[in-house]
């Protein structure tokens, strides 16, 4: 038994001074003056006691562009725990021409036995045909994989066309799943990439200029239209810009709710970084945007139009990034973020009074759990829920750096940035996993999480 | 001490099987297998344990149109408790030409000593001038009245013009309050009322036709514009229609959040009732709207654009309604609703799967508390919060009728409607107030609630 | 020389009682009391003297779905003349895998020597690649074909993807042309067609239900987005519905002008016809829509958001239509309309006071000429312009019927409809072509019109 | 008889090389090689022959803010003729408490016998009551004053409230007139003016900051809503900004057409001028806006959402402007513009390829004539129309300056600006009024124009 005393317990709804009692893997009680003979006691005075973060958008050990993302299941989930994220959702990517099952087995092979933190899978459907149609139900009901990722970009590799999209949506809806999407117009982007390359425009800035806002706004509108027609629960990943947010708002006008996630970097960083010599560090898709987009994304969170803040964690070492030093299109897409989402959002969001601490919990934990079918097991500090809890000191200052972070990558996207608010203790299913930087669990402690059917309602 | 065992405890965020322990007026613990020697035990098996409802829009014992609303502070707050609403916010109405203090004292005179349930006041500013400007700070800081109601209708009686509105907004913002509004274009409505009367169009239907959707859409846009310019926290009361909801959505597009409440009747009833012989029963302002508006309001709740479901309870007996039998403009505006908001929304919303039970708690209790500065004292089942709790049997069927309701009015707006889901027990500050229809507290138990400053952020 | 006396001469701007003097093929003077010794005089008292209609959307002798449209260049242009349309623009359709030139030659082969009325070509690019890229300039500069049609539907046959679209747009813009589009989401439609077929839903109604409004709204938005990015002059053909019109309006909000055409049938007929036994008569793509769409289309014309009313004339005999009697997807798409656009729009638009007679001229003649690079040669009654003129009696009543029409098809889409306003005389390049139903020119009189570069500005 | 040879004749629709023959006051013929024995011949080779400009928004000899606008009917209409404007519409302003007739007579008194150019009146209704209601019909049918101006600003002086507005709209609609509006929220502006003054913010910049964009956007939306409800033909004068243009666009979405005018200064000048020491020169209401607004206004013209470019000419000498040197609210509002609208728009619009020359004619002459019931008498070069014609050399360069202009005011808003395109000859009703700067008519030549009923349709 574990007893957390005197902290300020926060959920998506509540905020109170209380003790939290944990028995085994679960939360047993919350209250004043709780006592439990024999329980290990953690003093949380002056700290926020928060649900462990859920990052529903990470790519671990993922084969991509001739290499693999540099964090594997071990280093990635451990770095997440250091930063207060107890559960992540990773993406299985179907190979076009092969089955979903085939991909799932490959991903399970890399994942099994290697987890520190808990993890679940989205299934990326890159080839929807009569074969894969049959696997949808099986994934939902047998594997607990209830969210199906689609790509409207990366033609020839990951992209499905609108015909497959509508077909997939109708199938997924029927069985209680959700369709999630990387919404950018792959055709337009392919064209612009080739155009820029043929003109000798090869620096990282052209990565940005090959994916203008309109490519994302367009695809987001289109996805919303198809979701409206089919009625499937729908979710846009890594939404970055005003144009795409307006697609969500336009859908609202006809009574539709399209769920959407942004990522921490789109709230805090902007495209001016692409003009730096080391701009490749931030080459990701979609790219960073403008200041006006940041303003709109913060507003979207407050307005409830963006429900989740994730990371799209997909790190590559600087050496790998240099594969594209002469051609932006060869830079592996992605950047490291899994470790610092919680602290960044707390420091920039809560401490700077852009969002309430309830909203912080909502977008980092409760909403991801509810949207993706893990609630109330995950995502809150509730009686009977998994005791996934972090203690965060709201006032401690610290500085982000590749020298001190735990992700397996040799640069930080936020090198030298000073934050206020630090995760001191991370508890996963009742076990102190990390405390003051010390790891107290072993590889393999993390579990795969089967998820429930979803409704798209919050 | 009071111990509620084995219920399903629901907050705006959570949902779990748990016991709730109450000590004195407050919640002490939530957990599995709680025990407390000597505590009174309530068995809540099979029931939802929910935060007591907060209805932020009621008019008790209010002088209006030559009469007074028929529920006074005694009958109104008791009827509320019967239906699971533990706290209401009533409106003090300044008399034009007199001070806010003058009105407050009159309202306190009628209220003091008469409350069963808890109650707070909004202050309606009907004459903003140099004198009232000075009272704003005093109301907020001394009286705990932090929300200022304005009328864009009822010219010559309650309406302020846009100049006063902007001045009030800037003053209220400076001191940490919120401006709330009855947003319909009073000039247009006055014109149409007179026009219809002069044409001999006098039936209740013309009440409806004198307040077309555009009068509300227009004023809602205008209010949002002024709030945007001044930056004041802003809230629209009793929003009824798609046009007004679109005003809120248009504001969102520029990054603004305008908070808004609808009322239970606008979700469930429509304007076809005005064609009935007893149409006067539903003469209220704004009037009931169309089916397409209902659809949009439900969507607005789910999308997070409408944060509150209230009642605008303002009952008049049928005799009083008949004052306008020959002229719709003489029908006292308002209808009885305070008692059944919770059960109606549960039955039509939760049980019919239009909203989740978390959303139910959010819009009936948590959001009103947060928006109006009563949180975490009120509005949730949280450690240290007031033990305002209801037990609701989600499956019990019952029928609404004037014969059985507790409001002091001789008709029901929902006569004969069968609901699924019934409030069985209402607890106010740790005391069982009503149980199975039996009242266990005395008049005077209810308290006035001073409220905190607000930010407009959730 | 030809002298038209005493008519009411109308242009897109003007309206006056005047005589019109024609010398050779051109208009020489407009004025009061004109005289010209030796001129043939036509008395136009009581008649409107209008620019000959330009129908920029017809398909003559077009191979399609295993057959050909039943009007060839001879019958089609003659029927047009009967109804007051002096110039049409027909579509050359590239065969995927072959050159634009190859298609042009095939179309020229069928067209040459067979024209009664004047005609020009749009070039439909169905396969944009390095080869066709080079032909764009040649088409514009050598062939006077300055508008390039694209299909976002008919995958595998005519459809190009967005990558080709953007590439084509940039090429066309560079050389002074315009991209025009059939904007419906071909993928979604293909999916729905197959779905309905697999479910045994085979009647004409399912043609309609396979192309819901959202498929057109979506593609119109997408096209506008791509046009905005590339800056190419852009034009949507046969826009049918509110959703697509809103795509044009949304583009306007960012300062963009997307030009758009509707067709006469979308203004006058609706989808209820698909429930008739002979619903196949109106199987066309996009399909007829709802009454609310008609209302919006009329408003769009008046507001200047729709600049052209065309026909998409593409008739098939009833025998051919019956190819799809057991499967809507086998019904040849298209219907007869070339002859009656002018009289229908005059009767329903001008005589019913939905549009002014200036607007009538604008959308039937002047705008098509300006948009497509034929102005001031065509499209107006101006000094030096081609003397393409019609005399229309605004009060004469007549009834449409397959028995009396001149199109080579055995049914009428408007069988039995009575119109007010009849074209009495059609003059083409100074020659009376048809007078009171009597044809006064010979096959071969019609000429191919080379067109100029365009700007997209009006 | 007057014969204009070899010019390029342009109307809103047409563009052709032609001669124009004038007989008496009217146009008799347009054609090639016209001859008329005894006619005076003007050689227009190399020149555009355009309809004389109509400026529907001028204030001559108007009592305002304790002084009068410095151009009276003599100097104002003569300056207009110098710049190619042959007809203006001036505003009669009702005094609150007095009749429309009373104001009309006062205005007639100042106007009669003093006109060089033609002129008509709008009637500004500042007090709509049972008395003025009766005068509406009389103004339309007897006086030929068919447009009724309303002010949503200038409370206590000119402003009417929404109740009066709706009443006026219904009355005007019934008799075939149009309601036009100065659409800014007078209450908000009054508040901001007083606030800035009380804070000692007194420079011209605060004139601008007291009328932020939202005050105009708001009132424009509100006006459109009331016009939609009443169905009256409606027109917004001097629209300046994106927000107000979006009000027009939002109205279009529901199928409504709100007509709107911008003024030449809003297209070419911006608010940075208010930071100059002589900023008072541009103090007008609404104020100049931002560059982004200019971009949107040009787009609005091209899209057909703005139909008219006027001036709101209302000049005051620098001495009068200095009345407000210590308090922006005392600066007489208005600036000189009547003379140069045509040349400015030609130079900046046509010569810089922002608009076509047809569009130039449309917005400076044809649309004002059609909208306000003067067509086809005025506004075009049509047979039988008044011979109001200008000859404009499109290539002649000249420089604007107070030293050379003909308006009765000692500064120019465009001092030193070089234009390309100069009005060389102005003909009014068949008479050369000004030629190469030489005046050939006498005071009193100008006539009052009675106007016809209007439909709001173009």
Is C246's Cβ below 8 Å from some Cβ in A?
A: no
Minimum Cα–Cα distance from B219: chain D residue: D222
What is the number of CB-based contacts under 8 A between chain C and chain D?
Answer: 133
Q: Percent of chain B at pLDDT above 90?
A: 98
Is D249's Cβ below 8 Å from some Cβ in B?
A: no
Verify whether the Cβ–Cβ distance B355 to A457 is below 8 Å.
yes
> From the list B170, B185, B225, which residue is nearest D218 (CB)?
B225
> From the list C15, C304, C358, which residue is nearest D304 (CB)?
C304
Strand, coil or helix: B101: helix
Tokens representing A436 are 């003051």
φ, ψ of residue A401 in degrees (nearest 5): -165, 150
Residue D66 has pLDDT above 90, yes or no: no
Bond prior to C402 in cis (omega within 30° of 0): no
d(CA B86, CA B389): 8
Contact of A76 with A45, CB cutoff 8 Å:
no
Is D453's Cβ below 8 Å from some Cβ in C?
A: no
Verify whether the Cβ–Cβ distance B163 to D188 is below 8 Å.
yes
- Sheet strand arrangement including D53-58: D53-58, D85-93, D118-124, D147-151, D178-182, D234-236, D259-263, D308-310
Bond prior to B226 in cis (omega within 30° of 0): no
DSSP secondary structure, D6-26, as one string: EEEEE-SS-EEEEEEEEETTE
Chain A residues whose beta carbon lies within 8 Å of the beta carbon of residue B295: 255
Residue D64 has pLDDT above 90, yes or no: no
Chain D residues whose beta carbon lies within 8 Å of the beta carbon of residue B155: 163
Verify whether the Cβ–Cβ distance B28 to A31 is below 8 Å.
yes
Is B458's Cβ below 8 Å from some Cβ in A?
A: yes
Contact of A335 with A282, CB cutoff 8 Å:
yes
Exposed/middle/buried for residue D154 (C-beta within 10 Å: 0-12, 13-18, 19+): middle
What integer pLDDT is reported at residue A66 of this predicted model? 84
Query: Inter-axis angle of helices D130-141 and D100-111, to 10 degrees?
Result: 40
Minimum Cα–Cα distance from A224: chain C residue: C218
d(CA D364, CA D377): 15
- Condensed to tens digits (0 to 9), the pLDDT of residues C373-409 reads 999 999 999 999 999 999 999 999 999 999 999 999 9
What is the number of CB-based contacts under 8 A between chain A and chain B?
Answer: 133
Chain A residues whose beta carbon lies within 8 Å of the beta carbon of residue B246: 253
Mutate which of B212, B223, B226 to disrupt the D interface (most D C-beta within 10 Å)? B226
Contact of D303 with C303, CB cutoff 8 Å:
no
Q: Percent of chain D at pLDDT above 70?
A: 100
In which band, very low, low, confident or very high, does the pLDDT at D59 lie, cut at 50, 70 and 90? Answer: very high
Among the listed residues D248, D260, D255, the one whose alpha carbon sits nearest the alpha carbon of residue D224? D248
In which band, very low, low, confident or very high, does the pLDDT at B66 lie, cut at 50, 70 and 90? Answer: confident
Stretch (H or E) spanning D29 = strand D26-31
Residue C339 has pLDDT above 90, yes or no: yes
In angstroms, the Cα distances linking B375 to A130, A233, B458, C312, C329 are 53, 32, 11, 64, 61
In angstroms, the Cα distances linking B359 to A186, B11, B306, B307 are 37, 9, 11, 9
Which of A20-29, B61-70, C146-155, D340-349 bottoms out in mean pLDDT, i.e. has the lowest? B61-70
Taking the CA of residue D270 and the nearest CA in chain C, the distance in Å comes to 19
Taking the CA of residue C16 and the nearest CA in chain D, the distance in Å comes to 6
Collect all residues with Cβ–Cβ distance below 8 Å to B178 and sequence separation of at least 6.
B146, B147, B148, B172, B232, B233, B234, B235, B371, B372, B454, B456
Among the listed residues A445, A440, A442, A429, the one whose alpha carbon sits nearest the alpha carbon of residue A52? A429
Is D457's Cβ below 8 Å from some Cβ in C?
A: yes
Instruction: Decide: B and D in contact? Rule: 3+ Cβ pairs under 8 Å.
Output: yes
d(CA C155, CA C178): 22
Contact of B27 with B382, CB cutoff 8 Å:
yes
Verify whether the Cβ–Cβ distance A187 to C162 is below 8 Å.
yes
Chain C residues whose beta carbon lies within 8 Å of the beta carbon of residue D359: 457-458
Among the listed residues D396, D404, D446, the one whose alpha carbon sits nearest the alpha carbon of residue D423? D396
Verify whether the Cβ–Cβ distance B28 to A32 is below 8 Å.
yes
Is D228's Cβ below 8 Å from some Cβ in B?
A: yes
Among the listed residues A202, A203, A199, A162, the one whose alpha carbon sits nearest the alpha carbon of residue A181? A162
What is the number of CB-based contacts under 8 A between chain B and chain D?
Answer: 64
Kindly give the residue spans of alpha helices, DSSP state H, lying in A350-446.
357-361, 367-371
Verify whether the Cβ–Cβ distance C187 to A165 is below 8 Å.
yes
Verify whether the Cβ–Cβ distance D17 to C295 is below 8 Å.
no
Taking the CA of residue B261 and the nearest CA in chain D, the distance in Å comes to 22
> From the list D14, D299, D382, which residue is nearest C255 (CB)?
D299
Chain C residues whose beta carbon lies within 8 Å of the beta carbon of residue A164: 187
Half-sphere exposure in the Cβ direction for A180 (13 Å, CA): 28
Strand, coil or helix: C134: helix
What integer pLDDT is reported at residue A7 of this predicted model? 98
Instruction: Decide: A and B in contact? Rule: 3+ Cβ pairs under 8 Å.
Output: yes
- Give the mean pLDDT of D82-88: 98
Mutate which of D35, D383, D386 to disrupt the C interface (most C C-beta within 10 Å)? D383
Verify whether the Cβ–Cβ distance D187 to B163 is below 8 Å.
yes
- Give the mean pLDDT of C363-372: 98
Collect all residues with Cβ–Cβ distance below 8 Å to A255 and sequence separation of at least 6.
B295, B296, B299
Instruction: Decide: A and D in contact? Rule: 3+ Cβ pairs under 8 Å.
Output: no
What integer pLDDT is reported at residue A65 of this predicted model? 81
Verify whether the Cβ–Cβ distance C187 to A229 is below 8 Å.
no
Is C303's Cβ below 8 Å from some Cβ in D?
A: yes
d(CA A443, CA A74): 7
Q: Which residue has the tokens 């519905």?
A: C241
- Within 10 angstroms of residue A368's Cβ, the number of other Cβ atoms is 27
Q: Percent of chain B at pLDDT above 70?
A: 100
Is D367's Cβ below 8 Å from some Cβ in C?
A: no
Average pLDDT over chain D, rounded to an integer:
97
Is C296's Cβ below 8 Å from some Cβ in D?
A: yes
Residue D68 has pLDDT above 90, yes or no: yes
- Condensed to tens digits (0 to 9), the pLDDT of residues D162-217 reads 999 999 999 999 999 999 999 999 999 999 999 999 999 999 999 999 999 999 99
What integer pLDDT is reported at residue B65 of this predicted model? 81
What integer pLDDT is reported at residue C64 of this predicted model? 86
Is D9's Cβ below 8 Å from some Cβ in C?
A: yes
Contact of B381 with B30, CB cutoff 8 Å:
yes
Average pLDDT over chain C, rounded to an integer:
97
Is A197's Cβ below 8 Å from some Cβ in C?
A: no
In angstroms, the Cα distances linking B298 to A227, A248, B366 are 19, 17, 18
Strand, coil or helix: B425: strand
Verify whether the Cβ–Cβ distance A34 to B34 is below 8 Å.
no
Mutate which of A162, A194, A243 to disrupt the C interface (most C C-beta within 10 Å)? A162
Is B105's Cβ below 8 Å from some Cβ in D?
A: no
Minimum Cα–Cα distance from B8: chain A residue: A383
Q: Are β-strands B2-10 and B40-43 bridged in parallel, bridged antiparallel, or unpaired?
A: parallel
Among the listed residues B446, B406, B405, B407, the one whose alpha carbon sits nearest the alpha carbon of residue B428? B446
What integer pLDDT is reported at residue B64 of this predicted model? 86
- Condensed to tens digits (0 to 9), the pLDDT of residues B218-239 reads 999 999 999 999 999 999 999 9
Show which subunits contact B, needing at least 3 CB pairs below 8 angstroms: A, D
d(CA B321, CA B311): 19
Show which subunits contact C, needing at least 3 CB pairs below 8 angstroms: A, D
φ, ψ of residue D237 in degrees (nearest 5): -85, 160
Half-sphere exposure in the Cβ direction for A55 (13 Å, CA): 32
d(CA D241, CA D289): 7
Q: What ipTM is given for this predicted complex?
A: 0.97
Q: What is the largest CA-CA distance in chain B?
A: 73
Structural Rg of chain B based on CA atoms: 21
Chain A residues whose beta carbon lies within 8 Å of the beta carbon of residue B29: 29-32, 34
In B141-258, at which residue ranges do the beta strands (DSSP E only) sit?
A: 147-151, 178-182, 234-236
Chain C residues whose beta carbon lies within 8 Å of the beta carbon of residue A214: 225, 228-229
d(CA C152, CA C136): 19
φ, ψ of residue C228 in degrees (nearest 5): -65, -45
Tokens representing A450 are 């089967």
Mark the ranges of chain A whose per-residue pLDDT is less than 70: none
Half-sphere exposure in the Cβ direction for B140 (13 Å, CA): 22
Kindly give the residue spans of alpha helices, DSSP state H, lying in A176-256.
186-198, 204-209, 213-230, 242-253
Among the listed residues A440, A401, A453, the one whose alpha carbon sits nearest the alpha carbon of residue A117? A440
Tokens representing B253 are 């597009």
Taking the CA of residue B447 and the nearest CA in chain A, the distance in Å comes to 23
Verify whether the Cβ–Cβ distance B14 to A382 is below 8 Å.
yes
Taking the CA of residue C329 and the nearest CA in chain A, the distance in Å comes to 17
d(CA A156, CA A370): 33
Minimum Cα–Cα distance from C228: chain A residue: A214
d(CA C407, CA C339): 7
Cα angle C386-C392-C396, degrees, rounded to a multiple of 5? 170
Tokens representing A68 are 């693999």
Is B16's Cβ below 8 Å from some Cβ in A?
A: yes
Verify whether the Cβ–Cβ distance C255 to D458 is below 8 Å.
no
Among the listed residues C458, C429, C306, the one whose alpha carbon sits nearest the alpha carbon of residue C369? C458
Q: What single-letter DSSP state applies at residue C98?
A: S
> Which neighbouring-strand residues pair with B432?
B427
In D259-355, at which residue ranges do the beta strands (DSSP E only) sit?
A: 259-263, 308-310
Q: What is the largest CA-CA distance in chain D?
A: 73
> From the list A167, A185, A221, which residue is nearest C162 (CB)?
A185
d(CA A409, CA A413): 10
In angstroms, the Cα distances linking D55 to A406, B55, C105, D12, D89 are 72, 57, 54, 16, 6
- Condensed to tens digits (0 to 9), the pLDDT of residues C24-57 reads 999 999 999 999 999 999 999 999 999 999 999 9
- Sheet strand arrangement including C85-93: C53-58, C85-93, C118-124, C147-151, C178-182, C234-236, C259-263, C308-310
Strand, coil or helix: B20: strand
What are the counts of helices (DSSP H) followed by strands (DSSP E) for chain C?
Answer: 14, 19
- Condensed to tens digits (0 to 9), the pLDDT of residues C49-105 reads 999 999 999 999 999 888 899 999 999 999 999 999 999 999 999 999 999 999 999
């Amino acid at each position: 038994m574990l007893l957390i005393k005197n902290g300020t317990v926060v959920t998506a709804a509540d905020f109170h001074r209380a003790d939290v009692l944990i028995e085994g893997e679960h939360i047993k009680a919350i209250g004043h003056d709780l006592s439990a003979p024999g329980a290990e006691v953690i003093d949380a005075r002056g700290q926020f006691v928060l649900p462990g973060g859920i990052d529903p958008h990470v790519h671990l050990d993922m084969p991509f562009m001739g290499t693999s993302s540099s964090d594997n299941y071990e280093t990635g989930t451990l770095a997440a725990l250091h930063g207060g994220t107890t559960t992540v959702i990773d993406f299985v990517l179907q190979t076009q021409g092969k089955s979903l099952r085939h991909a799932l087995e490959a991903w399970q092979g890399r994942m099994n036995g290697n987890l520190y933190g808990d993890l679940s899978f989205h299934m990326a459907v890159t080839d929807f045909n009569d074969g894969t149609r049959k696997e949808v139900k099986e994934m939902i009901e047998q594997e607990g994989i209830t969210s199906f990722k689609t790509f409207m970009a990366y033609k020839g590799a990951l992209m499905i066309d609108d015909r497959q999209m509508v077909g997939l949506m109708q199938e997924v809806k029927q069985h209680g799943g959700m369709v999630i999407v990387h919404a950018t117009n792959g055709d337009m982007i392919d064209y612009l990439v080739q155009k820029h390359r043929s003109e000798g425009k090869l620096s990282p800035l052209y990565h940005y200029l090959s994916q203008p806002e309109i490519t994302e706004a367009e695809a987001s509108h289109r996805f919303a239209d198809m979701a409206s027609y089919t009625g499937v629960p729908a979710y846009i990943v890594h939404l970055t810009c005003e144009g795409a947010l307006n697609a969500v708002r336009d859908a609202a006008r006809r009574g539709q709710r399209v769920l959407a996630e942004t990522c921490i970097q789109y709230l805090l960083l902007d495209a001016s970084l692409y003009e730096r010599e080391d701009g490749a560090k931030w080459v990701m898709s979609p790219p960073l945007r403008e200041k006006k987009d940041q303003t709109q994304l913060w507003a979207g969170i407050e307005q409830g139009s963006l429900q989740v803040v994730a990371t799209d964690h997909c790190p590559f070492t600087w050496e790998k990034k240099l594969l594209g030093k002469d051609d932006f299109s060869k830079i592996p897409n992605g950047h490291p973020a899994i470790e610092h989402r919680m602290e960044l959002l707390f420091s920039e969001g809560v401490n700077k009074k852009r969002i309430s601490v309830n909203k912080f919990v909502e977008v980092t934990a409760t909403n991801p759990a509810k949207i993706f079918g893990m609630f109330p097991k995950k995502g809150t500090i509730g009686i009977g829920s998994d005791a996934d809890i972090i203690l965060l000191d709201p006032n401690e200052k610290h500085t982000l750096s590749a020298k001190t972070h735990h992700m397996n990558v040799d640069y930080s996207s936020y090198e030298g940035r000073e934050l206020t608010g630090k995760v001191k203790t991370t508890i996963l299913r009742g076990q102190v996993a990390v405390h003051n930087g010390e790891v107290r669990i072993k590889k393999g402690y993390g579990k795969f999480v089967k998820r429930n059917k979803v409704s798209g309602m919050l």
